[in-house]
Structure 1
Amino acid sequence: MLAPALFSPLRHRGLTLPNRIVMAPMTRSRAAQPGDIPTALMAEYYAQRAGAGLIISEASQISRQGQGYSHTPGIYNTAQINGWRKVTEAVHAAGGRMVLQLWHVGRMSHPVFHDGALPVAPSALAPDAQVWVVGSDGIGRMVDCPTPRALETAEIADIVEDYRRAAGNAMAAGFDGVEIHAANGYLIDQFLRTTSNHRRDAYGGSTDNRLRFLDDVVQAVTDEAGAARTGVRLAPFITARGMACPEIIDTILAAAARLDALGVGYLHLSEADWDDAPQIPDDFRHALRARFDSTLIVAGRYDADRAQAVLASGLADAVAFGRPFIANPDLPARLAHGTALADFDPGTLFGGDARGYADYPRQHPATANVAGACA
């Protein structure tokens, strides 16, 4: 059995978690069409995984402009709010806690989502990336992202207001908080990096200017959700999608200090998760911890042993698991009891029905939470 830290309660600024196992946000593209509306099947899927200390929802676009993949859920109209409310009710009935991840993809998109118009970004620079688009034949394919249109300065305030409304909508839908997706090459991350932000106005150039959009979004979101119930996801070490910025580490550390001063509930560190990804240097982890005093969540190919080690080091407070939660709805119990983990079917990751989504069997009885299992 594991040492108790992974299964010990965690109190942070906004929530008390019964264990330190977080379900990471994962795009699964099951929202109902037309309208990108959360469904009863999504409610079942998330409720099955309510044993996590915290569930972070799949990324959800804050507006039509914010969408970049087919069949991803939104949080900008009444039908979507009502759909998400069914999800939060199911998760809460199963004893879980859940926050909604707020998403604007920026240049990681395609004109098919924008009535033929180009996606928007800080600057007109192509990401050298692809997004998943379902064609008229009902089949999803990866397609190239075009060169986006650079946002006018006056348009940025409108997007900040979209974040504000989305955060209010999320709280109205019954979420326990929200997470701002500022990682993995999406819009906020695009503003942070010199490789994707060539602006010459107040949102580009210096570190302070490149942080301005994140500052504006965080202020708007915390006005609606409360700072303690707001998290921010950052990804300093990704290099794909044209994001290999030589200044990003200093920028991220500066962001962490600002977020700490604002009383943000948690930071979620998205580590590179491919097979030969670089290890996160310990000096960066120490520097991040020194600048952010509240809850730190880490995510990126962790298993039980690595999770236990990073918690024992004091350089993280909780660990998010993504892929292991797909085929193991009772993942916390399996980790607690050393039960072998099932493999997921990669052919059912995006789109489809319950197959490969809500039909994976449990190995342990359904319990709301795993806490103190190995005390």
Structure 2
Amino acid sequence: MKAAFIHDHNFVYNSVTDLYYDGSGGAFDEKLWRRYLELFDSLTVVGRKIEKLPNKLVVSSAENVNFKLIEGASGFKSVLKNKKKIQEELKTIIDVADFVIVRLPSTLGSWAFDICNTTNKKYVVEIVGDPFEAYWHHGSWIGKFIAPLEAIKLKKIVSKAQHVIYVTQEVLQKRYPCPNKTEAISNVRLEEVVNEGIVREFYGRESDIFRIGLIGSFHVQYKGHLEALKALKYLKDQGYSGIELSLVGTGDPSWVEDLARHYQVENQVNIIGALNAGKDGIMPFLDDMHIYMHPSKTEGLPRVIIEAMSRGKICLGSDVGGTRELLEEKYIHKPGSWELLAKQVEGILKCGTVEKIAIACRNLHVAEKYTEYVLQNRRAIFIKEIIDL
């Protein structure tokens, strides 16, 4: 069987290497496609084509995966201008597929949903985020204007969808309810979790540097970089020394570097840039962190918090998406509340070794529910049920 995966994600084609690359974030790699290739013989990935080559691109090409990238699908004006042409391209792709994975929120995904319903094509909808939060915190008045419209559009789609996978257990289900068949399956990819012995050894070890990590693309300004820097400034002013904030993400970090200089914490900020997913990059990075913070203004179920928890790390996160399904109340702050974030870090700094280990081990046990084996088994059962209808 042939499947199509449709979403607004950015991809880049490099004619020199003849490979396709993830154009933002780095999570759309061979391991993601493997989830679907366990169920289908081939996968056609549909996304937006961009020409810019961000730093350290992650390879997205894989065996039995074809790419059909849509041009003219970036930017409000361009999408409106090319709407009919894009919809015709989507219909051509969907017509030859046996099954469609419609990932939302996305413009391409919403059009694909309509086509699937019109043509009676079998599909599953994946809800991976809240468009209201994403647009509202985009940083422009246009975003705030579009936010409620996009939320209404997604509600209408989900209300008509026959089969929906949510990345949260409850949060997105309540905001965008589906009256039909649903399943809660995070899109995190955890191959394993560490054991408690590693956690005890790490937090029992003395260190001159207290390391705080944050992972978020520099392409956007709602991942919490500003709040993290303000919190770091507060801690510096309170006399805490030896704190280092390490930032991982694709894109141009110059605006973050400017902010770090503005708050006079540039010597405590380590901008790493992009890292590969899993054992080749992100996991070793997290292994070195004492705290992982995620002060983002919008999320579905924040995968990177689960990844940090799987490494036995103390985590702090903003109250968006499904974060409350992961962390205890005392480790959550309102989006933009850098003051509370700073005081939460300060509280952790004051904790003894035993208490730090207890917090980290609690997170470790929560992460065990999100291993790839557990989630993929549920995903496979759900999609096979749709195929067999």
Query: What is the TM-score of this pair, normalised by structure 1?
Result: 0.36
Q: Which has the higher strand share?
A: 2
Q: Which has the larger radius of gyration?
A: 2
Normalised TM-score (structure 2): 0.35
